[in-house]
Amino acid sequence: MREGWTEEPPVSAEASEMVSIPRAELDALQAELRQLRREVGRNVAKTRIQADPGPGDDVPALTRAQLAETWGISE
């Protein structure tokens, strides 16, 4: 059961509007939906990253060694 539901989810379709599909087809459709949602999420993230101007050229850049030293780790 989904989080937040304490009973069966409400059904809004009339019995005459409902159809049956094989379980394998339902599973395939759900997998495709998950894939499409991930793809959309990646595209949204990519668009946001590309739209971000970043810290700018006047921000100091550190080398790997400087970062390692600052973070207290060694290479």
**pLDDT tens track for 18-31:** 889 999 999 999 99
Structure tokens belonging to residue 57: 């050229």
In this prediction, residue 11 has a pLDDT band, given cuts at 50, 70 and 90, of low
- 3-state DSSP percent of the chain in helix, strand and coil, to 5: 55, 0, 45
Domain assignments of the chain as residue spans, ordered by start: 21-51
Tens of pLDDT, residue by residue over 54-74, are 777 777 788 888 889 888 887
Instruction: Specify burial of residue 50 (Cβ count, 10 A radius: 0-12, 13-18, 19+).
Output: exposed
Predicted model pTM: 0.48
| Nearest by Cα to 66 from 75, 55, 56 | 75
Write down the H helix ranges in the chain.
Answer: 23-51, 64-71
